[in-house]
Amino acid sequence: MKDFDKYCSPYSPSELRERLGKIRHVAFDMDGTIYMGSTLFPFTVATLQRLRDNGIGYSFLTNNPSRSIDAYLAKLAGMGIDSSREQMYTTAIATVDYIRTHHAEARNLYLLGTPSMVEEFVAAGFRPTEDSAEDRPDVVVVAFDMTLDYARLCRAAWWVSQGVPYIATNPDRVCPTDQPTVLVDCGSICKCIEHATGRTPDITLGKPDPNMLSGIMARHGLQADEIAMVGDRIYTDVAMAHNAGAFGVLVLSGETTLDVALASNPQPDLTALNIEEFCQLLIESKE
């Protein structure tokens, strides 16, 4: 049996075991948690199999909208992870849902994002507007765009300056990578637009917005205390768990160091080295 008092958690060992014992489903962040960039962690496949063997469900949830769901599924399959569309939820899908609810008449979108992301919006019935002052959008959507073009960035800033409704898909400043570079993410692109226009997004979706986790809970008929959100970032993954009333697990396999975790307020419900260590503890809490 694991010694629950050896884990970094604000709960007592008995409280931690009780909280973990209620969890029936795990929502996994992807980059920095399941893999790093294009490199699968060596413990991932076996850990997911152990969850299945013990009747614990799981989903993949990512703030990165740069790939379509089919592209994510293909990437996972190429790494040896079989998954379904029902197990995948991205900020592109969350943005589609938000626009349908809060801008029901919107059809024309200025999309600052990758072609793969644009495909998701086209499949959902929206029309991407051209890079033209004559093609006014109903909504501007800014995302993590690895194909970022300066002229299109300027056009996005123009429409933002003209008061068009403005949505950011996610707040991430950088995207995790195993390469010697910094991948500038949506939050940093939005800071550029803010500096140019003086305007911030009307809403920033993705983690830590609780709606992403709430969608998974509704899909699987879960209460907040029956789901754990596992990721490598306090300000997105753990914060979303807390905002949704769920169990927030920080893993140290990606962006966040132990020193940063120990200094955070509030603390994650649990800090573990990686998903293998967390899932071992989760399974043993049910024995």
Domain-wise residue ranges, the chain: 4-63+208-284, 92-204
pLDDT at 81: 96
Average pLDDT for residues 173-186, to the nearest whole number? 90
Q: CA torsion angle for 225, 174, 107, 121 (degrees, to 10)? A: -80
pLDDT at 97: 84
Q: Which residue has the tokens 């949830």?
A: 61
N- to C-terminal Cα distance for the chain?
Answer: 9
Question: Among 2-6, 70-74, 108-112, 156-160, where is mean pLDDT lowest?
Answer: 2-6
Query: 4-63+208-284 domain in CATH 3.40.50.1000?
Result: yes
> Which CATH architecture does the domain made up of 92-204 adopt?
3-Layer(aba) Sandwich (3.40)
Give the sign of the dihedral formed by CA 65, CA 190, CA 122, CA 183. Answer: negative
Of residues 4 and 159, the one with the higher pLDDT is 159
Verdict on whether the full-model pTM lies above 0.85: no
Average pLDDT for residues 50-56, to the nearest whole number? 96
Q: Does residue 266 have a cis bond before it (omega within 30 degrees)?
A: yes
pLDDT at 1: 45
- pLDDT beyond 70 at 260: yes
Would you say the CATH fold of 92-204 matches that of 4-63+208-284?
yes
Strand partners, 109: 128, 139
